[in-house]
């Protein structure tokens, strides 16, 4: 949520900041700004709207310099406007900051600082930080920042520059992620690694309570009390091409098409066909602790929640362990009924989702075994759990999660097999049949992706729809939720995901010829029940599209349109049913001219509560 960028070196800082902000734009895009320093005072340029608007402003009103900071905003306090866009400054304009996060009780600080004579220009919580630093500034910027930190509560990653203590960027972290990139005689700061890949792969991740002072000669790390720290340099193995569109119109479409690769990568090295086993020693949890697991609680939000629900069906079916999937934002305020035989799994693409992280931290008092299923190894969630099962999806830029959803399902299926192996609830032949089918999934998805014209044509019929119902049962109930979420977030069409069997208990009242239904109907153990649900809708003049196996000939006569997928072991059908639903949402949204990769009001990584 909000992206921070910064550079100090010999080059013109402006294009570096702008390119960096574009790579961070998925984190928030309601306004953006930069502040740069040359020989004179700090120069700020800000704009309401996307980075492209800021670029237009810079064309009219050029600035240059060889260090500076930038920000792309997702509004929390104060509406999106140029005035509320970062960077923010103190009364004099000598101290300028960018901030990601939320300052709690900022109104108390604002009142106090106003009483002391500080003049506020914005509605943001952020501005109090600039005035606090001003209050404590004598000669040294980091000292003033350190003193200001003592008065701040909440979550913040803040970068500060000052024309009164030049040629340095001071960076602090207490919550949201922030990284220092180490180049050759140049340094970068960023909210994530994406903007840095073009310049360096050597990075330092700040932890909470840490500060970095970045100067031309090098970087000094310390904690908030001033104690110097020696930090580990991490090497990032993502490459810059991974964050390009590679000829696709949108990142989302590219990422949907990447799913076969993502599943292969997430399976790679984790399956032994000879032994008919899953190899997950890498997750770092002792097998004897795993053997004692009697209950699994999965914490997640959004699409990760839906993938976790699929994981519930996998684990209960294969390992025979009861699984509760909880919205992290709700669970964190509950009475945690957990013991040492509970495994808590935090599922998060970014590893920085504030609700998931907070729930994880809160429940640790009960000392359960913890595991992260995560796409970013260096993220807070990945670092704060005892075990880590990485999804190897690579960077996901589209705000709507697609390839990471498939990667999460893959990781959770591997986990289910691993648990089943260790607690011996699954016989070898069953395990082997799942493993073999898992390996066939990428090819089956490729076959869906090789014939999308019909799907695109069908989707375009619904560009004026106002509502949509998504129905699924058993392992495909979560796919109904995910299909509806994708449509809502990128096309802004209202959609509901529902377990088909629940229809008759209320939602059936919604059915008429203006309420199309997407019914997920693979030939599984409850196929006949789904067909009955479809008949109930047809009897009430509802339009029904079914997602069905290629060899299911009987369904044709019972629905208005069929989207075909290859046949697959029913428990694994969510891997296939999800793909046409992603594409369906994509084609509708693209045809409506929606901003597919950056839907309104959203941000990719929700680092505030
Ligand atoms: O990074 P996380 O997986 O923890 O993010 C969770 C949700 O914010 C995320 O899945 C969100 O729902 C996406 N916009 C879904 O497309």
- Give the position, in ligand 1's atom list, of the atom nearest the Cα of 350: 1
Contact at 8 Å (CB) between 175 and 157? yes
Contact at 8 Å (CB) between 36 and 159? no
How far is the C-alpha of 66 from the C-alpha of 499, rounded, in Å? 57
Contact at 8 Å (CB) between 600 and 585? no
- Give the position, in ligand 1's atom list, of the atom nearest the Cα of 381: 4
- The closest residue, in CA terms, to atom 16 on ligand 1 is 400
CATH topology of domain 453-591: Rossmann fold (3.40.50)
**Start-to-end C-alpha separation, the chain:** 11
Contact at 8 Å (CB) between 256 and 403? yes
- The closest residue, in CA terms, to atom 9 on ligand 1 is 302
Structure tokens at 196: 């840095």
Structure tokens at 143: 């000292």
* Pocket around ligand 1 at a 6 A CB cut-off: 301-304, 348-350, 353, 356, 399-401, 489, 602, 605-606
With CA atoms as reference, report the closest residue to 303 among 365, 373, 234, 247.
Answer: 373
With CA atoms as reference, report the closest residue to 338 among 359, 366, 316.
Answer: 366
Cβ atoms within 10 A of the Cβ of 466, count?
10
| Distance of CA 289 from the midpoint of ligand 1 (Å) | 30
pLDDT at 284: 94
Contact at 8 Å (CB) between 397 and 313? no
Pocket test for ligand 1, best of 353, 373, 585, 605 (most atoms within 8 A of CB): 353
Enumerate the active-site residues.
2, 604
With CA atoms as reference, report the closest residue to 219 among 480, 227, 228.
Answer: 228
Cβ atoms within 10 A of the Cβ of 510, count?
16
- The closest residue, in CA terms, to atom 7 on ligand 1 is 302
Cα 479 off chain centre by: 18
Give the CATH architecture of domain 3-237. 4-Layer Sandwich (3.60)
Round the CA-based radius of gyration of the chain to a whole number and report it.
Answer: 25
- The closest residue, in CA terms, to atom 4 on ligand 1 is 348
| Distance of CA 606 from the midpoint of ligand 1 (Å) | 8
Encode 329-353: b = buried (16+ Cβ within 10 Å), e = exposed. Answer: bebbeeebebeeebbbbbbbbbbbb
| Distance of CA 4 from the midpoint of ligand 1 (Å) | 20
Tell me whether the CATH fold assigned to 243-449 matches the one assigned to 453-591. yes
- Give the position, in ligand 1's atom list, of the atom nearest the Cα of 405: 10
| 330 φ, ψ (degrees, to nearest 5) | -90, -45
Cα 272 off chain centre by: 31
Torsion region of 269: left, alpha or beta (phi above 0 gives left; psi -120 to 50 gives alpha)? left
Structure tokens at 446: 């490729």
Angle (CA) 99-102-107 rounded to 5° is: 110
CATH topology of domain 243-449: Rossmann fold (3.40.50)
- The closest residue, in CA terms, to atom 14 on ligand 1 is 400
Pocket test for ligand 1, best of 251, 298, 302 (most atoms within 8 A of CB): 302
Pocket test for ligand 1, best of 191, 301, 372, 377 (most atoms within 8 A of CB): 301
pLDDT at 366: 85
Cβ atoms within 10 A of the Cβ of 227, count?
8
Angle (CA) 447-401-481 rounded to 5° is: 85
Structure tokens at 85: 């866009």
Q: Where are the alpha helices (DSSP H) in 450-573?
A: 453-460, 477-491, 527-538
pLDDT < 50 positions in the chain: none
Cα 521 off chain centre by: 29
Contact at 8 Å (CB) between 78 and 123? yes
How far is the C-alpha of 476 from the C-alpha of 513, rounded, in Å? 25
| Distance of CA 399 from the midpoint of ligand 1 (Å) | 8
| Distance of CA 317 from the midpoint of ligand 1 (Å) | 26
- Give the position, in ligand 1's atom list, of the atom nearest the Cα of 404: 3
Pocket test for ligand 1, best of 29, 300, 305, 349 (most atoms within 8 A of CB): 349
With CA atoms as reference, report the closest residue to 181 among 31, 395, 7.
Answer: 7
According to DSSP, the residues that pair with 223 across neighbouring strands are 210
Taking only the tens place, the pLDDT of each residue in 331-386 is 988 888 888 899 999 999 999 999 999 999 998 888 899 999 999 888 889 999 99
Within 8 A by CB and 6+ apart from 360, the residues are 299, 328, 344, 346, 370, 381, 384, 385
Q: What is the sign of the dihedral through the CA atoms of 391, 392, 398 and 402?
A: negative
Within 8 A by CB and 6+ apart from 468, the residues are 462, 484, 487, 493, 494, 495, 496, 515, 516, 517, 518
Domain spans, the chain = 3-237, 243-449, 453-591
| Distance of CA 475 from the midpoint of ligand 1 (Å) | 20
According to DSSP, the residues that pair with 220 across neighbouring strands are 213
pLDDT at 144: 97
Q: Interhelix angle for 477-491 vs 574-591, to 10°? A: 20
pLDDT at 393: 94
How far is the C-alpha of 302 from the C-alpha of 482, rounded, in Å? 9
Angle (CA) 66-69-75 rounded to 5° is: 160
DSSP secondary structure of 396-455: --SSS--HHHHHHHHHHHHHHHHHHHHTT-S-HHHHHHHHHHHHHHHHHHHHHHT--HHH
Could you tell me the CA-to-CA distances from 342 to 281, 285, 293, 301 in Å, in that order? Answer: 19, 13, 6, 20
Give the H/E segment covering residue 306.
Answer: helix 302-319
| Distance of CA 116 from the midpoint of ligand 1 (Å) | 42
| Distance of CA 605 from the midpoint of ligand 1 (Å) | 7
pLDDT at 507: 86
Contact at 8 Å (CB) between 173 and 182? no
- The closest residue, in CA terms, to atom 12 on ligand 1 is 302
Contact at 8 Å (CB) between 299 and 373? no
């Amino acid at each position: 949520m909000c992206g921070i960028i910064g550079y100090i070196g010999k080059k013109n800082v402006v294009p570096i900041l702008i390119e960096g902000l574009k790579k961070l734009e998925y984190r928030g895009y309601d306004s953006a700004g930069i502040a740069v320093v040359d020989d004179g005072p700090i120069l700020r340029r800000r704009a309401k709207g996307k980075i492209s608007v800021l670029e237009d402003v810079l064309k009219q009103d050029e600035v240059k310099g060889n260090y500076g900071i930038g920000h792309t905003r997702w509004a929390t306090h104060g509406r999106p406007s140029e005035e509320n866009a970062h960077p923010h400054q103190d009364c004099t304009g000598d101290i300028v900051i960018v901030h990601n996060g939320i300052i709690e009780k900022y109104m108390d600080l604002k009142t106090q600082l106003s009483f002391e004579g500080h003049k506020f220009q914005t509605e943001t919580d952020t501005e109090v930080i600039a005035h606090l630093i001003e209050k404590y500034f004598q000669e040294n910027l980091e000292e003033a920042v350190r003193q200001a930190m003592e008065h701040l509560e909440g979550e913040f990653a803040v970068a500060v520059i000052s024309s009164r203590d030049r040629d340095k960027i001071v960076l602090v972290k207490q919550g949201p992620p922030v990284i220092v990139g180490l180049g050759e005689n140049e340094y970068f700061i960023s909210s994530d690694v994406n903007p840095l890949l073009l310049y360096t792969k050597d990075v330092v991740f700040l932890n909470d309570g840490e500060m970095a002072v970045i100067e031309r000669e090098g970087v000094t790390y310390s904690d908030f009390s001033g104690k110097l720290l020696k930090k580990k340099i991490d090497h990032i193995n993502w490459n810059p091409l991974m964050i390009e569109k590679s000829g696709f119109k949108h990142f989302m479409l590219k990422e949907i098409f990447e799913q076969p690769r993502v599943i292969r990568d997430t399976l790679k090295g984790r399956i032994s066909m000879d032994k008919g086993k899953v190899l997950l020693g890498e997750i770092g949890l002792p097998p004897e602790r795993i053997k004692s697991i009697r209950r699994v609680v999965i914490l997640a939000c959004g699409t990760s929640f839906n993938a976790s629900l699929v994981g519930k069906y996998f684990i209960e079916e294969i390992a025979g362990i009861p699984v509760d999937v909880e919205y992290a934002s709700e669970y964190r305020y509950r009475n945690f009924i957990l013991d040492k035989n509970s495994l808590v799994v935090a599922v998060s693409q970014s590893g920085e989702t504030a609700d998931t992280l907070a729930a994880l931290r809160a429940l640790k008092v009960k000392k359960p075994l913890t595991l992260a299923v995560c796409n970013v190894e260096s993220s807070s969630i990945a670092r704060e759990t005892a075990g880590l099962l990485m999804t190897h999806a690579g960077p996901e830029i589209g705000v709507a999660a697609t390839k990471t959803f498939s990667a999460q399902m893959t990781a959770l299926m591997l986990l289910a097999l691993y648990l089943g192996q260790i607690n011996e609830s699954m016989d070898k032949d069953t395990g082997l049949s799942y493993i073999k089918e898992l390996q066939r999934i990428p090819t089956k998805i490729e076959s869906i992706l090789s014939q999308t014209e019909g799907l695109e044509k069908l989707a375009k019929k619904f560009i004026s729809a106002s509502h949509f119902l998504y129905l699924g049962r058993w392992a495909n109930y979560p796919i109904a939720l995910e299909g509806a979420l994708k449509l809502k977030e990128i096309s802004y069409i209202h959609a509901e995901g529902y377990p088909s069997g629940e229809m008759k208990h209320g939602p059936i009242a919604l059915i008429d010829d203006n309420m199309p239904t997407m019914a997920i109907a693979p030939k599984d153990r409850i196929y006949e029940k789904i067909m009955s649900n479809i008949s109930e809708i047809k009897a009430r003049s509802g339009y029904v599209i079914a997602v069905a196996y290629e060899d299911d000939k009987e369904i044709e006569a019972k629905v208005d349109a069929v989207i075909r997928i290859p046949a697959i072991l029913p428990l694994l059908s969510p891997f296939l049913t999800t793909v046409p639903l992603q594409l369906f949402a994509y084609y509708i949204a693209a045809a409506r001219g929606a901003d597919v990769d950056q839907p309104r009001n959203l941000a990719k990584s929700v680092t505030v509560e």
